Amino acid sequence: MTFRAGFVNIIGNPNVGKSTLLNALIGEKLSIVTSKAQTTRHRILGLYNTDDYQIVFSDTPGILKPANKLHKAMLDTVDMALTDADVILYVTDCFESIDKNKDYLEQIGKQQTPVIVVINKKDISSEEQILNRIQELRTFFPESDFFIVSALKGKYIADLMAKIKEHIPVHPPYYDQDDLTDRDMRFIISEMVREKIFLFYKQEIPYSVEIEVESYIEEPTIDRVSVVIHVTRDSQKSILIGKNGLALKKVGTAARLDAERFLQKKVFMQIFVKVSDDWKDNENQLKRFGYIH
């Protein structure tokens, strides 16, 4: 059978389940999943490999109105995802307003690339809500296929995957077929730490931090990792560390356990907190953290 390989880019507004969908499609947790919006900041590639296919899925940051240089860099990532895909998955749900970033919706609808519309969260949506959302979106995507899924429950993902495969061109694999992602363990560890901050802290703290893995040493029986959490103010540093360091210890323990499950080996993790003033609007810092190339 002829081998096929191609790029499928997942695009949509924040908090509609793009990262959950990526994880469901490739069968492995790569992207951060929380109930908070704007969880994904970077473009993350996840590889689906079989004997006949390599599908390179790309999870992108949610579409947003830029408030700083970090947001601008994130939106540039989404713009790029519109131009280098073989298939675009536009993900939405029945609960966000159809007028949210409507101009971007129109832009996606004008793409020459095939667009598959995925209405997520079927498990908590009524039939009436779903039918109304399909009718609204048909205006923008008159030629597109529509799929109603529950990414969280893993329902109807197989039907979506079958449709995606119909659009994948004949091409040799782009990556080693044993790979799961194009990201290295430094990045994956940093995302694990950032996810715990989203889960354990409230208000502005999760949106004010950046995670940097300063060192990563692999040994036969254990990996040793040193992580720095960058914040913008001393008050945020105090909140992150918590009384007697207990809050930061909770983050480190949870992230370490995730890393050990992923790597199937022991991990020793040290975490430090550093104040880096206004890193979100500092181009040098954004380049250092991989947002600007």
Q: pLDDT tens-digit profile of 20-75?
A: 898 899 887 665 444 444 444 445 678 889 999 999 888 776 555 555 565 455 55
Determine the Cα–Cα distance for residues 105 and 13; give it in Å rounded to an integer. Answer: 10
pLDDT in tens, 237-292: 999 999 999 999 999 999 999 999 989 999 999 999 999 877 667 677 667 766 66
Contact 272, 193 (CB under 8 A): no
Residue indicated by tokens 């995606």: 164
Structure token pair of residue 221: 């029986």
| CA 28 and chain centroid, separation | 13
Q: Taking 80 as the threshold, does the pLDDT of residue 172 lie above it?
A: yes
Contacts of 257 (CB under 8 A, 6+ apart): none
Structure token pair of residue 239: 């909140």
| Nearest alpha-carbon partner for 231 in 285, 292, 290 | 285
Determine the Cα–Cα distance for residues 247 and 127; give it in Å rounded to an integer. Answer: 43
**Listed range (189-203, 223-237, 279-293) with the worst mean pLDDT:** 279-293
**What domains can you pick out in the chain, each with its CATH number?**
4-166 (3.40.50.300), 185-288 (3.30.300.20)
More confident of the two residues 225 and 101: 225
**Listed range (79-93, 150-164, 222-236, 273-287) with the worst mean pLDDT:** 273-287
Split at pLDDT 50, 70, 90, the class of 170 is very high
| R_g of the chain computed on alpha carbons | 20
φ, ψ of residue 49 to 5 degrees: the values are -120, 130
pLDDT in tens, 132-142: 999 999 999 99
Residue indicated by tokens 């609007």: 281
Q: Taking 60 as the threshold, does the pLDDT of residue 12 lie above it?
A: yes
Which secondary-structure segment (H or E) carries 151? none
| CA 129 and chain centroid, separation | 26
Q: Taking 90 as the threshold, does the pLDDT of residue 222 lie above it?
A: yes
CA-angle at 15, arms to 69 and 290, nearest 5°: 35
Q: Taking 70 as the threshold, does the pLDDT of residue 198 lie above it?
A: yes
Split at pLDDT 50, 70, 90, the class of 80 is low
pLDDT of residue 195: 87
CA-angle at 186, arms to 195 and 34, nearest 5°: 15
How much of the chain exceeds pLDDT 70, in percent? 82
